[in-house]
């Protein structure tokens, strides 16, 4: 537990599911202005016109003593069809060469079911954990200034999905036609922390 600002407290946790569980428990108390889960941390904002830091920390300790290690199970599953390689995955050949894999081997290893760890970086960008260790690769030496929405990148043992266009340094291995951001929807972002995703290889968008 440590200060992250005048009205912010940060707590380090073991993994994304523990972070989601703690953030959910804090929101249920309705005593916090915000509780934001990261991959291995949760940042809480308290109203410092009502609470001093010691009171806020004591309330946080009370939640920590009772919170479980897992958030409520998400029943949402989003299928993500992906066109791997070519114009939609300009880094796939580079990645395969680095990892000593054929395209088919890469696609077989990457296709499957995962869970969203968190959203961040740019609005709606989904960090998805659980990649096979054989697919671990670093970021690109030079980030791109523009990556289209729907792009699928990998780095550091995770898949990243771009809900919006923007800059980025992840190797891009494919693209999906799924609309990950819809400003007209009641919930504009298709994915959220805890959402299950199923990557499936397709031939065209």
* pLDDT single digits (tens) 29-80: 888 998 888 888 889 898 888 888 888 888 888 888 877 655 555 668 999 9
Helix H or strand E segment including 8: strand 8-12
More confident residue, 22 or 160: 160
Instruction: Give percent of the chain above pLDDT 70.
Output: 96
CA distances (Å), origin 69, targets 9, 11, 21: 20, 14, 6
When pLDDT is cut at 50, 70 and 90, the band that residue 21 belongs to is: confident
CA-wise closest residue to 15 among 158, 155, 146: 158
- 155 pLDDT higher than 60: yes
Domains present along the chain, CATH in parentheses:
2-66 (3.30.1360.40), 77-201 (2.40.100.10)
- 16 pLDDT higher than 90: no
User: CA angle, corner 199, sides to 109 and 95, nearest 5?
Assistant: 45
Round to whole Å and give the CA distance between 77 and 75: 6
Model's pTM, two decimal places?
0.81
Whole-number pLDDT of residue 177: 97
Per-residue pLDDT of 102-153, as tens digits, reads: 999 999 999 999 999 989 888 899 999 999 999 999 999 999 999 999 999 9
More confident residue, 105 or 183: 105
CB 128 within 8 Å of CB 197: yes
Helix (H, G, I), strand (E, B) or coil at 18: helix
Round to whole Å and give the CA distance between 40 and 18: 8
Per-residue pLDDT of 70-113, as tens digits, reads: 555 566 899 999 999 999 999 999 999 999 999 999 999 999 99
């Amino acid at each position: 537990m440590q200060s992250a600002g005048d009205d912010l407290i940060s707590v380090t946790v073991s993994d994304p599911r523990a972070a989601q569980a703690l953030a959910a428990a804090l929101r249920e108390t309705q005593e916090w202005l915000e509780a934001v889960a990261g991959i291995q941390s949760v940042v809480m904002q308290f109203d410092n016109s009502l609470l001093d830091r010691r009171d806020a920390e004591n309330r946080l300790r009370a939640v920590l003593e009772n919170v479980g290690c897992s958030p409520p199970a998400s029943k949402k599953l989003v299928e993500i069809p992906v066109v791997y390689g070519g114009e939609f995955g300009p880094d796939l050949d580079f990645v395969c060469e680095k990892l000593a894999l054929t395209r088919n081997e890469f696609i077989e290893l990457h296709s499957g079911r995962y869970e969203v760890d968190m959203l961040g970086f740019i609005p709606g960008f989904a960090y998805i954990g659980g990649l096979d260790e054989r697919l671990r690769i670093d970021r690109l030496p030079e980030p791109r200034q523009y990556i289209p929405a729907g792009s699928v990148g990998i780095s550091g043992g995770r898949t990243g999905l771009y809900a919006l266009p923007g800059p980025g340094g992840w190797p891009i291995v494919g693209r999906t036609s799924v609309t990950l951001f819809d400003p007209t929807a009641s919930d504009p972002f298709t994915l959220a922390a805890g959402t299950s995703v199923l990557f499936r290889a397709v031939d065209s968008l």
